[in-house]
Amino acid sequence: MSTQAAMADAATTRPAMPPRPPSRFLALAEPGRALSELATFYALRPLLTTLKKGDGHGVLVLPGFMAGDSSTRPLRSLLSDLGYDAVGWNLGRNVRVDNARVAAMMDCIDELYGRTGRKISIVGWSLGGVFARELAKQAPEKVRQVISLGSPISDDRNHTNAARLFEWLNGREPEPMKDGRFQSLAEAPPVPTTSILTKTDGVVHWRGSIQEAGPETENIEVIASHCGLGVNPAAVFAIADRLAQEEGEWTKFAPEGLASLMFPSCSLH
């Protein structure tokens, strides 16, 4: 049974568990695991350039909570080598969630879309993935697909260890929510949407990253840390595979051969 099918089956046959953040053990293990994944990424960097090549369309990469463009530079560099017009958001650290920041991100989409003359893809890490999904809802005519990495998309902040810090910095209801936006995070945007998640995430519980099964939604499980998702070789393989699809011909992830060994097939429940 595929991971996607297993998730859907689990959702219909088992009662929902109360939201909770990852264990303290997984949270404490994050730094060491992420550094190991970064080292592995650079060790495999020459091999990763042989992944599926892109068609030159624009890819906007959004960083996670408290992070900036430096965290996404390794991924953007690889995507550029694979043939994409990959850019960061150039907005500093991802800390505040207000209307000005949302408008600035929309400007990023408008600029890349206008410069390339084609729909763009958005890759968002953690909170960046939440933004990616919500931005695609506002401008689906400019977005080709969305890929989120360990993003808390469940509408319940109890899935993440960062909830208290986030609310201390932004309040329980950030400005966009007060204006009626960001109200249904679990609802996928009207474009092909991939959620890459890991059951060993130490920041966002993997249940909080699962999106409902649909014709243009999918969940891909990898073995990774939260802070290493953007450089984890399996996650990078999945990102490259998703981005390489021709516009308008999106199909669900189906790794073949040895590549399938990187992706757990156990049911997520």
Contacting residues for 116 by C-beta, under 8 A, at least 6 apart: 56, 57, 58, 85
Inter-helix orientation angle 24-43/69-81, to 10°: 40
Tell me if 243 sits within 8 A of 200, measured CB to CB: no
Q: Which of 65-79, 126-140, 220-234, 249-263 has the lowest mean pLDDT?
A: 249-263
- Helix, strand, coil % over all residues of the chain, rounded to 5: 45, 15, 45
> In angstroms, rounded to a whole number, what is the distance separating the alpha carbons of residues 216 and 231?
25
> In angstroms, rounded to a whole number, what is the distance separating the alpha carbons of residues 163 and 29?
19
Mean pLDDT across the stretch 146-156?
93
Residue 1, judged by CB atoms within 10 A of its CB (0-12, 13-18, 19+), counts as exposed
Greater confidence (260 vs 57) lies with: 57
Q: Which of 178-182, 192-196, 253-257 has the lowest mean pLDDT?
A: 178-182
Mean pLDDT of the chain: 91
> In angstroms, rounded to a whole number, what is the distance separating the alpha carbons of residues 53 and 51?
6
> In angstroms, rounded to a whole number, what is the distance separating the alpha carbons of residues 91 and 88?
8
pLDDT at 199: 96
pLDDT grade, residue 57 (50/70/90)?
very high
What are the pLDDT digits (tens) for 4-43?
A: 554 544 443 445 678 888 899 999 999 999 999 999 999 9
pLDDT at 172: 86
pLDDT grade, residue 179 (50/70/90)?
confident
Q: DSSP per residue over 97-118, as a string?
A: -SHHHHHHHHHHHHHHHHHHSS
| Residue 112 Cα to chain centre, angstroms | 19
- Provide, rounded to the nearest whole percent, the portion of the chain with pLDDT above 90: 75
> Which residue in this structure is represented by tokens 């017009």?
85
pLDDT at 226: 97
> In angstroms, rounded to a whole number, what is the distance separating the alpha carbons of residues 231 and 35?
10
> In angstroms, rounded to a whole number, what is the distance separating the alpha carbons of residues 103 and 108?
9
Quick one: DSSP state of residue 261? G
What are the pLDDT digits (tens) for 103-131?
A: 999 999 999 999 999 999 999 999 999 99
> In angstroms, rounded to a whole number, what is the distance separating the alpha carbons of residues 157 and 204?
9
